[in-house]
Structure 1
Amino acid sequence: MKELSPEQVEALLENDQYEIIDVREDEEVAQGMIPGAKHIVLGSLENRMDELDKSKEQILICRSGRRSEMAAMLLEEQGFKTTNMVGGMLEWTGEVK
């Protein structure tokens, strides 16, 4: 599985070849989210895959990188191109909304 650091992800924010998917719970996202990210809680990802663009690479994000790794594996099994942001939002130093 491909992995990127938070700094590498920040450099890709304006690149429309990627979709950023935040799989944290609602109360975690309320503390701040990467601008442009789509919020899909990990538990509902399987039922919401049709909202994702298979032609784009999916960058998965959570609090520390573990849940996003599981999400990336789930999406890869369904034919998506995925990347996990290692360190998660705990390591994110960029802008949040």
Structure 2
Amino acid sequence: MNEQSILPKEVKNKLDQGLELNIIDVREHEEVAQGMISGAKHIPLGELPVRHHEIEQTDNIILVCRSGNRSGKALEYLQMLGLKNLKNMEGGMLEWDKL
């Protein structure tokens, strides 16, 4: 794990503490229909090039997908655009659902 990664347990703990997180779920529509983290914003990975402006630059931007792979790609793309304070949730919703 690197400084750009965050574990699902850490995300849950921050939410439980009432911290405001900017969670961006990059999964497809049919995936989020099965459930997503409360308060997350849904922007599918393929729509990021035209919707990235919807992501507010905050201190805690957490990218989420099913396993952590697509959200990792989203993190790299958003970094190229100059966004800061990005974290990829390791293991994605597969790990989140185990909490």
TM-score under structure 1 length normalisation: 0.88
Structure 1 runs (4+) deviating above 3 angstroms are: none
Conserved? CA contact 1:24–1:41, under 8 Å = yes
Question: Contact conserved, 1:65 with 1:84, CA < 8 A, in 2?
Answer: yes
Say whether residues 1:75 and 2:52 are aligned partners: no
Bigger Cα displacement from structure 2, 58-67 vs 47-56: 47-56
Pair 1:65 & 2:75 matched: no
Tell me the SS of whatever aligns to 1:24: coil
Structure 1: runs of 5 or more not aligned = none
2-structure distance, mates of 1:49, 1:42: 10
Per the alignment, residue 89 of structure 2 pairs with 85
State the TM-score, normalized to the length of structure 2: 0.86
The count of residues paired between Structure 1 and Structure 2 equals 94
Q: Which amino acid aligns with 2:70?
A: R
Does the 8 Å CA contact 2:24/2:61 hold for their aligned counterparts? yes
Q: Which sections of structure 2, spanning at least 5 residues, go unmatched? A: none
Q: Percent identity?
A: 50
Q: 1:78 deviation in Å?
A: 1.1
1:24 to 19, 23, 27: 27
1:7 matched to which residue of 2?
Answer: 9
Aligned-partner residue type, residue 77 of structure 1: M
